[in-house]
Amino acid sequence: LYPEGADYDRAEMWAGLRPMTPNNLPEFGRRRLRNLYLNTGHGHIGWTMSHGSARITADLLAGRKPAISMDGLLN
């Protein structure tokens, strides 16, 4: 559509990889480091799940029971 829309001679390879778990379910909570909380593994649905994931993470950080069901999400 736009043949003059880029400097094709200076193009560089890039990949917007998204970390994801094998079952596409995100991982939340603490692991080995006491002060590190995970909110990762969403893969291609990360933007879709971002608001709910942020709420879960905020609840976990505050020591509250998450307002969203955590069934199957904490290891």
pLDDT tens digits for range 29-54: 888 898 899 999 888 888 898 999 99
Q: Record the pTM.
A: 0.69
Burial class of 29 by CB neighbour count within 10 A (0 to 12, 13 to 18, 19+): middle
Domain that holds residue 39: 20-62
Asked whether the beta carbons of 63 and 71 are under 8 A apart, the reply is no
Whether residue 67 is contained in a domain is answered as: no
Number of domains the chain contains: 1
Residue 22 has pLDDT above 60, yes or no: yes
Q: Is 24 a domain residue? A: yes
Q: How many CB atoms lie within 10 A of CB 26?
A: 22
C-alpha 67/C-alpha 37 separation (Å) is: 17
The gap between the terminal CA atoms of the chain, to the nearest Å, is 48
Asked whether residue 43 is assigned to any structural domain, the reply reads yes
Q: Which residue has the higher pLDDT, 73 or 5?
A: 5
Is there a domain that residue 8 lies in? no
